[in-house]
Amino acid sequence: MTDSQLIAAALAVPATGAGLVALAGRWPDARETLTLAAAAALFAAVLALLPAVLAGARPELIAWDLLPGIAIAFRAEPLGMLFALVASGLWIVNSIYSIGYMRGNKERNQTRFYACFALALAATMGIALAANLLTMFLFYEALTLVTWPLVTHHGDAEARSGGRVYLGILLGTSIGLLLPAVIATWAFAGTLEFTPGGILRDAGLSRGALAALLALYMFGIGKAALMPVHRWLPAAMVAPTPVSALLHAVAVVKAGVFAVVKVIVYVFGVDALAGSGAADWLPAIAGFTIIAASIVALRSDNLKRRLAYSTVSQLSYVVLAAALLTPLSVAAAALHIAAHALGKITLFFAAGAIYTAAGKTQVSQLDGIGRRMPWTMGAFAVGAASLIGIPPAAGFLSKWLLFQGAASAGHWLAIAVLTVSTVLNAAYFLPIVHAAFLREAPGGEPAHGEAPWPIVAALVFTAAATLALPFAVGVPLGLARSVAGIPPAGISP
Amino acid sequence: MSAEQLPALVVVAPLVAAPVALLARRALPAWMVATAACGFSFVAALALAVQVTSGGAVSYALGSWPPPWGIEYRVDVLSAFVLVLVSGVATVVAPFAWASASAELERERLYLFYALYCLCVAGLLGMTATGDAFNLFVFMEIASLSSYVLIALGRDRRALLSAYQYLVLGTIGATFYVIGIGLLYLMTGTLNMADMAARLSDISSTRPVLAALAFITVGVSLKLALFPLHLWLPNAYTYAPSAVTAFLAATGTKVSVYVLLRFYFGVFGTRIVLEELPMSQILLALSVVAIVTASLVALWQADLKRLLAYSSIAQIGYITLGISMASREGLTAAVVHLFNHGITKGALFLLVGGVALRAGHAGFDRLQGLARTMPLTSLGIVIAGLSLIGTPGTAGFVSKWYLVLGAIEAGRWWLAAFIVATSLIAVAYIWRFVEAAYLAPLGGATPRAGEAPAAMLVPAWILVAASVWFGFDTSYSVQGAARAAALLLQ
């Protein structure tokens, strides 16, 4: 297949998969086989695109003109490839996990669940491979809409109100802020194409206008969960855990920060933005989000809520890194998209495993659980270590680059934020690990072991990948460097 | 049949079909004649659209009396665009009407329904095709009178009262329009619109001409339900038979918008309308109020059909908002939204008609858990609803893009913010349906008889598909609208 056909396949495989899953609804085994097959085929397609992109090619697929002068078009570039690889690879693992979780918890409407999941992946691929802002916006909105049935999966009052917050904030920001920003960009620049160096350079906008436009983008991309538009993420936790794991720790939120990095690098242009000083306010907002969300996480007893606020905080790492506008920090932003994905999906997998095996949802209930579920809690510890930034887990790598970037920019506020947040990360994760392994379980509880094997297999796999990433860093680091425009030998991790 | 006669044929086909249907006195042949006539007009309108796009406006002298003495039918890119919309929707609604009207009307009166339907289609097409101001009035009356009766045929007894309200207000509107034409005739001595425009350029600031503009504006605004002249619309749309609501919502107000555009830009000219009189500011203010109030009122309706009726008033506000910008983008937005909203709202009312067929009416108590018993209908309402909101990938998005672009290019940021903010109200009222249909448990009043018959579902889904299609392929809609906008601003 040519590279253009591979791009088409990356979009068509999950979309077709969704249709087939819906048709196979009556035969659960066939349905789940189809999901796994679609996930494997998607990953294969994305993987097959990789060599060309690493070699410097930018394969394109131009579908047709949506509006005069603006096409629905796709182009595989390094950042998008990184995101697509992470999302499609983890979809396979997550599907195995879903089978264990959905059957183990006897969830209803499983066909709708798997079909919407596949559609969400199709939308994610569209965002990752979009060649211009309009195409990205199209799939960004589609991702919001197809994940709504997943968030409201249980259909009860809690799911309904969670769904309202989810949809209200995500559509409110994207329609209210992002869309005007995109249209204004079209009016000013005359193009929406993602271009290295940015497209607004020659638009002749003043510093204030650039800053206002940047603010429209940053808060308009609600999926990046910059405070105060972050509330949809904890609200989305009413969804079944596989949804929280792949979509609200990987695909949806990463689509947000991915879009943020894309806009900063390819719409505004790193150098142009640094030269104008229009982004000076952004590190402060991102830093505030990092600290404030960590504090909320620290005070949350509900495990999924704690993880959600941890995600809000970690997403702003990426925003902060991109906002520092140095090559190293942009590479760190790209790498952190991958590193956080692996760590956080492991933590959510573990949270879902605990719920499935023990029916527990609160941090305070976890005393001694590590002895009954050693694999699960071991994986949890690995994921937590990665997010705190303890070597050799993957999170260490991106945090290291991030510190280097902040230091090279001489941005002391960023360094201070990163240091404080590392302490806070440790403060909200380590007590869980401590309680699980070192405290005694309260008496009188029904005995339970590990969750069903697909769940355990999935979380052990992602934990292992978290540990393995630093040793196989060539591909992600190569892609991350390429985003930042650093020659291959430019950084030593 | 030669190409020169198309402007007349497109109108004549349904006009002749009406008495034929009446003489048939039986439902089936009457329906067949009506459907065939609408289909013929649609084909003729498409042929006309192709012709005017490549070769410029087509003129047809009725009875071979050359204009400006005789009645001239004149079709240019704008009128061809509207002709395609009206005849296309008429063709899609006709098969729907077979199943829907048969259920809602007495069998002996069905042939009358189809005869009136043909008359209404002919009236709307005639208003669009004619280049004669008085002939336009005649067709306006044909369309209006037939629609009063069509609305009165509704099963609910309140349909009669609604039709009466519409009759009173519609007649006032037509009277105002004809007074305006009288004044213009007095000043120019001609009824041919192109001729009138040429003669008005010297005397445009005289008092009778300004008075004519005022009368025509008010008269046409009543017909197009511009706030605050919209009072007839919610009841008329709610209680009319489903097929009538769908057809009128998709076409009736749109043709009146077309008439307004014709007179503002084709007859009076931008200088008098926009520079000497503050029509642009007046339209802007009315549109803004229409959008806010109607959207908010829609949010609180207990009946989906009525909710959509109020939504129509808001959406008409977006169209007039585009007109008020009087820029290339603004007019493109107005014309493309006229088309996009026509098919979107047509789709929604057809689907709601299916619900009403099964449940008696479309109150929200009948919609609880509807997705389980009528999955295709519910999905269609969601997709068309997304187009109403303006989600990318639907026709509504294209309209919104040009509206916001027009506002930004004019430097009116507050207006851009207003447009996107109010479309969020549409999210809220569409999601009321989504939550009721998909999240609520199956209600006691929810219809359990399954989907509407295919004769209703298929036409509805054709329009649903169209509202997605024109969100991805804008080569016809946007380019047609852009050409029309360029023509208006000449």
Q: B385 to chain A nearest CA, in Å?
A: 12
Alpha carbon distance B295, B388 (integer Å) = 12
- For the stretch B13-24, pLDDT in tens is 999 999 999 998
The three-class DSSP label of residue B130 is strand
Q: Residues near B398 by Cβ (< 8 Å), separated by ≥ 6?
A: A67, B336, B340, B470, B471, B474, B477, B478
Would you say residue B326 has pLDDT above 90? Answer: no
Burial A275-301 (b: 16+ CB within 10 A, else e): ebebbeebbebbbebbbbbbbbbbebe
Would you say residue B1 has pLDDT above 70? Answer: no
Q: Provide φ and ψ at B231, rounded to 5°.
A: -60, -25
Domain count along chain B: 2
Of the candidates B398, B396, B375, B378, the one whose C-alpha atom is nearest the C-alpha of residue B387 is: B396
A310 with A297: CB under 8 angstroms?
yes
Cis peptide, bond prior to residue A392, ω within 30 of zero = yes
Last residue of a domain, one of B224, B249, B277: B277
Q: What does the pLDDT average to over B36-46?
A: 94
Tens place of pLDDT for every residue, chain A, 493 residues? Answer: 788 888 999 999 999 999 998 888 788 888 888 999 999 999 999 999 988 888 888 888 888 888 888 889 999 988 889 899 989 989 998 898 888 888 878 888 888 889 998 999 999 999 999 999 999 999 999 999 999 999 998 888 888 899 999 999 999 999 999 999 999 999 998 889 998 888 988 778 888 889 999 999 999 999 999 888 999 999 988 888 888 888 888 889 999 999 999 999 899 988 888 888 888 899 999 999 999 999 999 999 998 999 999 999 999 999 998 888 888 888 888 888 888 888 899 999 899 888 888 888 888 888 888 888 889 999 999 999 998 988 878 888 888 888 888 888 888 888 999 999 999 999 999 999 888 888 887 777 777 778 788 888 888 999 988 888 877 777 777 777 777 776 554 444 4
> Is B416 part of the contact surface with chain A (CB cutoff 8 Å)?
yes
> 376-395 in B: which are within 8 Å (CB) of A?
386, 389-393
Provide the 8-state DSSP code for A490: S
Q: Provide φ and ψ at B363, rounded to 5°.
A: -65, 155
Q: Which secondary structure element, helix H or strand E, spans residue A243, and what is its range?
A: none
The reply to whether B96 and B115 lie within a common domain is yes
- For the stretch A239-279, pLDDT in tens is 888 888 888 888 899 999 999 999 998 999 888 888 888 88
The reply to whether B77 and B148 lie within a common domain is yes
The reply to whether B241 and B368 lie within a common domain is no
Neighbouring C-beta atoms of residue A420, cutoff 10 Å: 14
Torsion sign (Cα): B162, B163, B168, B174:
positive
> Is B486 part of the contact surface with chain A (CB cutoff 8 Å)?
no
Alpha carbon distance B409, A280 (integer Å) = 28
Confidence (pLDDT) at A491: 44
Q: A155 to chain B nearest CA, in Å?
A: 5
The reply to whether B4 and B64 lie within a common domain is yes
The reply to whether B10 and B97 lie within a common domain is yes
Selected for mutation to probe chain B from A11, A62, A66 (highest B CB count within 10 Å) is A66
The reply to whether B270 and B289 lie within a common domain is no
Closest residue, chain A, to B390 (C-alpha):
A175
Q: What share of chain A is helix, strand, coil (3-state, %, to 5)?
A: 75, 5, 20
Confidence (pLDDT) at B257: 94
- For the stretch B52-91, pLDDT in tens is 888 888 888 888 888 788 888 989 999 999 999 999 999 9
Cis peptide, bond prior to residue B447, ω within 30 of zero = no
Half-sphere exposure at residue B475, Cβ-oriented, CA atoms within 13 angstroms:
4
Q: What does the pLDDT average to over B455-467?
A: 93
Angle (nearest 5°) at CA B172 between B168 and B177: 150
Alpha carbon distance B364, B303 (integer Å) = 6
B277 compared with B92, residue with greater pLDDT? B92
Residue A142: its chain B contacts at CB < 8 A? 392-393
Retrieve residue B408's tokens. 């930004």
Torsion sign (Cα): A307, A312, A318, A320:
negative
Q: A177 to chain B nearest CA, in Å?
A: 8
The reply to whether B174 and B320 lie within a common domain is no
Of the candidates B328, B313, B316, B139, the one whose C-alpha atom is nearest the C-alpha of residue B238 is: B313
The reply to whether B294 and B386 lie within a common domain is yes
Mark out chain A residues that contact chain B at CB-CB < 8 A. 64-68, 72, 134, 137-138, 141-142, 145, 149, 152, 155, 159-160, 163-164, 167-168, 171-172, 175-177, 179-180, 183-184, 186-187
Alpha carbon distance A401, A398 (integer Å) = 5
Retrieve residue A341's tokens. 């994905």
Of the candidates A281, A294, A283, the one whose C-alpha atom is nearest the C-alpha of residue A318 is: A283
Q: B299 to chain A nearest CA, in Å?
A: 15
A172 with A164: CB under 8 angstroms?
no
Q: B419 to chain A nearest CA, in Å?
A: 9
Confidence (pLDDT) at A250: 84
DSSP string, B230-275: -TTHHHHHHHS-HHHHHHHHHHHHHHHHHHHHIIIIIII-HIIIII
Closest residue, chain B, to A171 (C-alpha):
B424
Residue B389: its chain A contacts at CB < 8 A? 175
The reply to whether B208 and B259 lie within a common domain is yes
Last residue of a domain, one of B277, B305, B326: B277
Q: Nearest CB to B423: which of A134, A167, A175?
A: A175
Contact across the interface for B416 and A142, Cβ inside 8 Å: no
Distances (CA, A) of B160 to B107, B236, B240: 19, 9, 9
For chain A, how far is it from start to end, CA to CA, in angstroms? 35
Contact across the interface for B439 and A134, Cβ inside 8 Å: no
Alpha carbon distance B244, B251 (integer Å) = 10
A232 with A222: CB under 8 angstroms?
yes
Size of interface A-B (CB pairs under 8 A): 74
What is the domain range of residue B250?
A: 1-277
Confidence (pLDDT) at B181: 95
- For the stretch B340-364, pLDDT in tens is 999 999 999 999 999 988 888 888 8
Alpha helices in A232-326 (DSSP H): 232-235, 241-242, 252-262, 270-276, 282-299, 303-323
Alpha carbon distance A125, A255 (integer Å) = 9
Angle (nearest 5°) at CA B98 between B96 and B99: 75
Torsion sign (Cα): B176, B178, B180, B182:
negative
The reply to whether B305 and B449 lie within a common domain is yes
Q: Which amino acid, residue A31?
A: R
Residue B424: its chain A contacts at CB < 8 A? 171-172, 175-176
The reply to whether B382 and B357 lie within a common domain is yes
Q: Which secondary structure element, helix H or strand E, spans residue A411, and what is its range?
A: none
The ipTM assigned to this model is: 0.89
Cα A90 from chain centroid (whole Å) = 11
Alpha carbon distance B152, B162 (integer Å) = 7
Q: Provide φ and ψ at B92, rounded to 5°.
A: -75, -35
Scanning the structure block, which residue is given the tokens 């929810």? B446
> Is B442 part of the contact surface with chain A (CB cutoff 8 Å)?
no
Contact across the interface for B420 and A65, Cβ inside 8 Å: no
C-alpha dihedral (B198, B200, B202, B206), degrees to nearest 10 = 180
Confidence of residue B128 (pLDDT cuts 50, 70, 90): very high
Last residue of a domain, one of B225, B255, B277: B277
> Is B435 part of the contact surface with chain A (CB cutoff 8 Å)?
yes
- For the stretch B210-247, pLDDT in tens is 899 999 999 999 999 998 888 899 999 999 999 999 99
Half-sphere exposure at residue A315, Cβ-oriented, CA atoms within 13 angstroms:
34
Contact across the interface for B420 and A179, Cβ inside 8 Å: yes
Retrieve residue A280's tokens. 């000076």
> Is B454 part of the contact surface with chain A (CB cutoff 8 Å)?
no
Q: Nearest CB to B424: which of A64, A142, A176?
A: A176
Q: Provide φ and ψ at A71, rounded to 5°.
A: -100, 155
Sequence length of chain A is 493
Q: Are strands A60-67 and A70-75 parallel, antiparallel or unpaired?
A: antiparallel
- For the stretch B410-441, pLDDT in tens is 888 999 999 999 999 999 999 999 999 988 88
The reply to whether B272 and B329 lie within a common domain is no
- For the stretch B144-184, pLDDT in tens is 999 999 999 888 888 899 999 999 999 999 999 999 999 99
